[in-house]
Amino acid sequence: MNRALVVLTCVAFLTLGVGAAGTPVVVPVVLLGAAFTALGTAGFVWVRRRGRRAWAAVYVVVQLALAVAAFAFDQGVATTLFFVVLVSQCVLLLPRAAVVVVILLVPLVHAPMPWQQALREGMGLFAAVVFAALFTELVQREQRIRAELAQAHAQLRDYAAQAERLATAQERNRLARDIHDGLGHALTVVQMQVKAARAVLAGDPGKADAVLAKAQQQSEDALAEVRRSVHALREPRATPPLPEALHALAEENSATGIPTTLTVTGTARPLPDEPREALYRAAQEGLTNVRKHARAGRADLLLDYTGDTVRVTVRDDGVGASDGAATGFGLVGLRERAAHLGGRLQVGTAPGQGCTVTMEVPG
Q: Residue 312 is part of a domain; what is its CATH number?
A: 3.30.565.10
Look at residue 60 and tell me if it is in a domain.
yes
| Ranges under pLDDT 50 in the chain | 324-325
Would you state the pLDDT for residue 324?
44
Strand partners, 315: 300, 356
Contact 291, 258 (CB under 8 A): yes
310: phi then psi, degrees, rounded to nearest 5: -120, 135
Cα 203 from chain centre = 65
344: phi then psi, degrees, rounded to nearest 5: -155, 160
Domain that holds residue 343: 241-363
Would you state the pLDDT for residue 12?
77
Look at residue 322 and tell me if it is in a domain.
yes
Contact 45, 2 (CB under 8 A): yes
Look at residue 154 and tell me if it is in a domain.
no
Residue 163: which H helix or E strand, with range?
Answer: helix 115-178
Contacts for 87 with CB less than 8 Å, ≥ 6 apart: 99, 102, 103, 106, 129, 132, 133, 136
Domain end (from 75, 96, 112): 112
pLDDT in tens, 154-184: 888 888 878 877 877 777 766 666 666 666 6
Contacts for 142 with CB less than 8 Å, ≥ 6 apart: none
Look at residue 197 and tell me if it is in a domain.
no
Predicted TM-score (pTM) of the model is 0.45
Structural domain count of the chain: 2
Look at residue 170 and tell me if it is in a domain.
no
* Pairwise CA distance, residues 108 & 83, whole Å: 12
